[in-house]
Chain A
Amino acid sequence: SQQGEEDPQALSIQEGENATMNCSYKTSINNLQWYRQNSGRGLVHLILIRSNEREKHSGRLRVTLDTSKKSSSLLITASRAADTASYFCATDLVYNDMRFGAGTRLTVKP
């Protein structure tokens, strides 16, 4: 069964704007990861945040985790056309069992 659910399903913004995607999950987790998938390609790992962390940064990416609300957000600042892709959150339930959501499709217009 799916664990993470991304919101919104689709997001369209102009280049230079910030993009925020949310992920909600149902059960306790060890960590949460965000991945990007360009059309027709495999997933690429972006960032991992552990259950005892609340915020993490990587370049233009900022991820927050609220375990009390069972939710996470991914913020991409100063978006570029190359950021156009689908973004997935993935949570682990038990040993090495990762569950992905259906993704948010981000379109950045030049």
Chain B
Amino acid sequence: DTAVSQTPKYLVTQMGNDKSIKCEQNLGHDTMYWYKQDSKKFLKIMFSYNNKELIINETVPNRFSPKSPDKAHLNLHINSLELGDSAVYFCASSQVRGRRYYEQYFGPGTRLTVT
């Protein structure tokens, strides 16, 4: 069984469109994340959710909005897509107990191409 899954795997769309990427984890983790990996392979955290509460919000454009309907899902909505949004987006999850960290489990990634 896939631990962290993302859909779609590939997404090609035009500038100005609105799109969503879905993420689900079946690990029972309490924290989920979205990362953006650019063409130079830099991996930048965008958001994380813990128990349905946003606890990190990097300085990303407000065109990006995470939505968590429940603990197992963290979807990423992107409005008014721009060329610079083209990247690979990774979802991840982890279990955080108190302030002790545990490893993050990553999804396979969604390659977004904006034309």
Contacts and interface: CB of A to CB of B under 8 A. Distances in A.
A97 B31 CA distance: 11
A43 B108 CA distance: 8
A103 B55 contact: no
Interface string A14-54: 00000000000000001101010000111111001000000
Contacts of A88: 43
Query: Interface residues of B: mostly helix, strand, loop or mixed?
Result: strand
Interface of B: 4, 31, 33, 35, 40-45, 48, 50, 55-56, 90, 92, 94, 96, 99, 101-109
Given A43-B92, A48-B101, 14 more contacts: A30-B99, A30-B101, A43-B43, A44-B106, A45-B105, A48-B103, A92-B101, A95-B99, A96-B56, A96-B96, A98-B45, A100-B45, A102-B40, A103-B43
